[in-house]
């Protein structure tokens, strides 16, 4: 597998639900195809934005099956998150059998302690598959923080670790990872409102959130910033930033799905314990979304 699989815009896909609460596989396929047609280079289902923690094992496998069938040779890179190491290993093997092209490995959902236990969890999953791996570091969400040195240690042990999705929010981490790993790892970010800054620090891939509603704009933002830096993308970034900041609030899933609904590419339906935004939270999100729709700068 070429590391080019990680270099570009990759949606962290939302999981669509029917009015009866089941996964909407028809829309899932159409939505993923639209993302690719708009310039995205692959898709990442079953992440935080995909409400993976609320999906059953069989639902997760079915999501990957639908996407592989819909996208053909376009990489489907599911998130591997679970309550237990054993379940995560089984999921990695199951989605590999369904045709996944890579894995985004998360820390366990509910239990987080020290490096010994968290690295053992990661090693068990990585050792159970031959697929290329994206290591996902998001201490804000998962309370496990992989340091640059720990990331370098795992990458040294497992050649199939090709990329790291660094989402600690500390831009200095990118320099630290490069200092220890050189060009061994592709650097990616999963924080929407830090993509231009991340590109300046060596990021070459973006696991994006608001791309679910605005794929063409996300690809244009990424490519223009990669080619010309902040100056080349300032107008587009200024327009996009309020939307991108909705990716970093506690109810980011609801906010991004609401954005999709407003632009006609999805529904705000979520799975409990999440509930759709209401009251002041909904009004604040709608104000941002509606302003963005009215002031779209064009491409």
Residue 168: exposed, middle, or buried by beta-carbon count in 10 A (0-12, 13-18, 19+)? middle
Q: Would you say residue 145 has pLDDT above 90?
A: no
- Pull the structure tokens for residue 175: 């320099």
139: pLDDT strictly greater than 90: no
CA of residue 238 relative to chain centroid, distance? 22
The Cα 195–Cα 224 span in angstroms is 12
Cα separation of 110 and 34, whole Å? 34
What residues are annotated to the active site?
136, 165
- At 2 the pLDDT is 67
3-230, superfamily in CATH?
A: Aldolase class I (3.20.20.70)
pLDDT at 237 > cutoff 70: yes
Report yes or no: 92 and 125 within 8 Å, Cβ to Cβ: yes
Residue with tokens 């320099």: 175
151-186 confidence digits (pLDDT tens)? 999 999 999 999 999 988 888 899 999 999 999 999
Confidence of residue 141 (pLDDT cuts 50, 70, 90): confident
Q: Which ranges constitute the DSSP H helices of the chain?
A: 25-37, 57-71, 85-97, 115-126, 139-142, 148-157, 172-181, 195-200, 215-244, 252-263, 279-294
Q: Which are the contacts of 269, defined by CB distance < 8 A and separation ≥ 6?
A: 16, 17, 18, 19, 21, 257, 276
Per-residue model confidence (pLDDT) at position 4:
85
Residue 118: pLDDT over 60: yes
Euclidean distance between CA atoms 108 and 91, whole angstroms: 13
């Amino acid at each position: 597998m070429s590391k080019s699989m990680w270099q570009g815009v990759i949606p962290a896909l939302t999981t669509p639900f029917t009015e009866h609460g089941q996964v909407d596989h028809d829309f899932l396929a159409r939505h993923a195809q639209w993302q690719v047609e708009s310039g995205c280079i692959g898709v990442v289902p079953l992440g935080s934005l995909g409400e993976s923690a609320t999906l059953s094992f069989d639902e997760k496998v079915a999501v990957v099956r639908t996407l592989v069938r819909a996208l053909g040779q376009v990489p489907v890179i599911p998130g591997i998150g679970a309550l237990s190491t054993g379940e995560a290993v089984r999921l990695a093997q199951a989605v590999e059998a369904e045709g996944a092209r890579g894995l985004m490995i998360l820390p366990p959902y509910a239990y987080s302690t020290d490096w010994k236990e968290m690295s053992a969890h990661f090693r068990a999953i990585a050792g159970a598959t031959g697929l290329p791996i994206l290591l996902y570091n998001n201490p804000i969400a998962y309370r496990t923080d992989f340091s640059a040195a720990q990331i370098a240690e795992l990458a040294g042990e497992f050649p199939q670790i090709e990329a790291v999705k660094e989402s600690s929010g500390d831009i200095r981490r990118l320099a630290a990872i490069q200092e220890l790993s050189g060009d061994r790892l592709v650097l990616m970010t999963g924080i929407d409102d830090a993509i231009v800054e991340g590109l300046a620090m060596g990021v070459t891939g973006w696991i994006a959130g608001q791309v679910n509603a605005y794929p063409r704009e996300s690809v244009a933002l990424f490519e223009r910033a990669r080619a010309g830096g902040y100056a080349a993308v300032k107008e587009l970034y200024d327009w996009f930033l309020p939307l991108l900041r909705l990716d970093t609030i506690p109810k980011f899933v609801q906010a991004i799905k609401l954005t999709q609904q407003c632009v006609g590419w999805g529904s705000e339906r979520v799975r409990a314990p999440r509930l759709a935004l209401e009251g002041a939270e909904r009004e604040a999100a709608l104000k941002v979304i509606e302003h963005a729709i009215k002031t779209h700068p064009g491409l």
